Amino acid sequence: MDYDIIVVGAGHNALVSAAYAAKAGYKVGVFERRAIVGGAVATEEHVPGYQFDLGGSAHILIRMTPIVEELELKRYGLEYLELDPLFHAYDGETPWFVWRDVGKTVDALERLFPGEGANYQRLYDDWLPFAKAVNETFLSTPGPLELGQKLIYGSGFQKDWQRRLSQIMRPYGEVVKQYFSEERVYAPLSWMAAQSGPPPTEPMSAPFLLWHPLYHVGGVARPKGGSGGLTRALKRMLEAHGAQVHVSAPVKRFLLEGTKVVGIELEGGDKYTSSAVISGTHILETLKMLPDERVPDIARTVRTGNGFGMILRLALNKKVQYKNHLEPESRVGLGLLIKNEHQLLKAYGEYLGGEPTKDPPLIAMSFSAVDPTLAPPGGEVLWLWAQYYPYKLSSGTWADSSKDSRAGEARDNILESFEHFAPGTRDTIVGELVQTPLWLETHLGLYNGNVMHLEMSIDQMFGARPFIGGGEYKFPGLKGLFLTGASTHPGGGIMGASGRNAARVVLKSLAKPIFKLRK
């Protein structure tokens, strides 16, 4: 046996699983297809002197887990920089800020938009217990009874449960307007809720808004040096515990003995054996590594959706300067740049018709404001996430090499949209990276460019993620094969909860024979 546990892929979830296993004393081998670890949580110097994240940037969810402390990642070089304000909400005229401190946010909102501060406080008070209960469900294997108990009883809304339940089942685009009447307040909050993928009109999507109170609890942070600081620290921690992390090591297939997975074979032909294999790739990639007859029909029906966003990463030779700029607040937190609600709805409408939106709302990130290691002195990194962009287009292609490529046009429209908020930025660009849905698929293995792996809709959440029957981190019908990653509960985002939950399941299953032996 080469290893006790083999982990396929080195996305942050896979690394978290591997780290818990190594910490428990198991011999662990990680095999990653790319030349660097991290998957969608990685940072590279794409333009000389400028560090670009390749995927996720805002570390929110992971900070509501005990992972960083339990794995002692600080010891292995992880340093989190807090963002405060957390958000810069802006329609192009009137900026307002969500501060870590709820009271400060409420007071400032009340001064700017009388009545809306009190409404913000009401949203916070109404939903904080629910948001905390949702977070708890993220940190455990999703059993149906446990889920119901935590959400209904743990949320503290027994008395008022009918009204609350009906709100949870509604689209977030409607629920936000039950709280706020000022569009400059509700449009950015709706836009933040849209980050998980489902549009503001989707029933059962309100939880994407209703966990907003948690931002004040856990904050929004950045690893110093870029998002990849998290996955680099995980790699160091693994190596310090004797694990081997192999990069440029694409896995071709699982080795099977009957219905037991006993190892892996790499593209190059090398074989490695182990007692358990944890696959942390996209679920569709995992299925490719199995013989056809071992793939349950239902697994083939997972919905990856048609992509939803793209990102333009810019290296600037000057700091970002918004219209009505407030220094340094405007550049620190996530910029929720949206002109009005219509802009988001229109973008979604264009997307449904297979068209990249012409005038996207943006999440603007200029984290060199808090981390000078990201850009040369005086310079700035500016990353503009935009929605919505279909992976399959009604006309043209995303391929750069094609004369029908829509990549240049989409890039120009993102920039044009940003000029509304910060005119003149265009003239300060010294380098860039355009990440279309096709780029995300080709370089990061995110099928159809879905950064959450699979659609984050209710039919594919909790125990139904990635598919019914495969929702407890164990691959159905096969011994020794376990799943982690954004394709599993609780889904996409930088959280690591899936990695931690999966590790618990694997370690429990491996502990059994030892326990029997000792008896």
Ligand X SMILES: Cc1cc2nc3c(=O)[nH]c(=O)nc-3n(C[C@H](O)[C@H](O)[C@H](O)COP(=O)(O)OP(=O)(O)OC[C@H]3O[C@@H](n4cnc5c(N)ncnc54)[C@H](O)[C@@H]3O)c2cc1C
Helix (H, G, I), strand (E, B) or coil at 72: coil
Which residues does residue 336 pair with via DSSP β-bridges, in sequence order?
Answer: 89, 363
Applying CB under 6 A, the span of 3-11, 70-78, 105-113, 414-422 interacting with ligand X comes to 3-11
**Of 70 and 327, CB closest to ligand X:** 70
Residue 3 within binding range of ligand X, rule CB under 6 A: no
Question: Which amino acid is present at 465?
Answer: R
Applying CB under 6 A, the span of 107-115, 339-347, 390-398, 443-451 interacting with ligand X comes to 443-451
From candidates 19, 40, 287, 483, binder to ligand X by CB under 6 A: 40
For residue 433, CA distances in Å to 15, 248, 312, 387, 391 come to 26, 23, 6, 17, 18
**Of 206 and 251, CB closest to ligand X:** 251
Burial of 250 (0-12, 13-18, 19+ CB in 10 A): middle
Q: How far apart are CA 450 and CA 265, in angstroms?
A: 27
Residue 437 within binding range of ligand X, rule CB under 6 A: no
Q: How far apart are CA 268 and CA 252, in angstroms?
A: 8
Q: How far apart are CA 215 and CA 468, in angstroms?
A: 31
Contact yes or no for 264/254 (Cβ under 8 A): yes
In the block, tokens 């043209």 appear at 396
Contact yes or no for 91/97 (Cβ under 8 A): no
Residue 485 within binding range of ligand X, rule CB under 6 A: yes
From candidates 68, 311, 336, 461, binder to ligand X by CB under 6 A: 311
**Of 13 and 155, CB closest to ligand X:** 13
Applying CB under 6 A, the span of 8-16, 113-121, 367-375, 418-426 interacting with ligand X comes to 8-16
Phi, psi of 480 (to 5 degrees): 85, 0
Residue 492 within binding range of ligand X, rule CB under 6 A: yes
From candidates 41, 262, 320, 410, binder to ligand X by CB under 6 A: 41
Closest distance of CB 148 from ligand X, Å: 26
Residue 332 within binding range of ligand X, rule CB under 6 A: no
Residue 26 within binding range of ligand X, rule CB under 6 A: no
From candidates 4, 6, 7, 13, binder to ligand X by CB under 6 A: 13
Count residues near ligand X (CB under 6 A): 38
Residue 330 within binding range of ligand X, rule CB under 6 A: no
Residue 251 within binding range of ligand X, rule CB under 6 A: yes
Closest distance of CB 280 from ligand X, Å: 6
For residue 63, CA distances in Å to 58, 68, 152, 223 come to 11, 8, 24, 11
Peptide bond into 388 cis (omega under 30): yes
Q: How far apart are CA 406 and CA 355, in angstroms?
A: 10
- Report which of 32, 451, 51 is spatially closest to residue 223, judged by C-alpha positions: 51
Q: How far apart are CA 369 and CA 260, in angstroms?
A: 51
From candidates 312, 407, 440, 483, binder to ligand X by CB under 6 A: 440
For residue 126, how far is the Cα from the chain centroid? 26
**Of 200 and 499, CB closest to ligand X:** 499
Applying CB under 6 A, the span of 91-99, 108-116, 186-194, 277-285 interacting with ligand X comes to 277-285
Question: Which amino acid is present at 509?
Answer: S
Residue 192 within binding range of ligand X, rule CB under 6 A: no
CB atoms within 10 A of CB 447: 21
Residue 497 within binding range of ligand X, rule CB under 6 A: no
Residue 58 within binding range of ligand X, rule CB under 6 A: yes
For residue 138, how far is the Cα from the chain centroid? 14
Q: Which residue is nearest to ligand X (CB)?
A: 11
Residue 451 within binding range of ligand X, rule CB under 6 A: yes
Residue 494 within binding range of ligand X, rule CB under 6 A: yes
Positions 452 through 471 that interact with ligand X (CB under 6 A)? 452
Residues that bind ligand X (CB under 6 A): 8-14, 31-34, 39-41, 55-58, 60-61, 250-251, 280-281, 285, 311, 435, 440, 444-446, 451-452, 485-486, 492-494
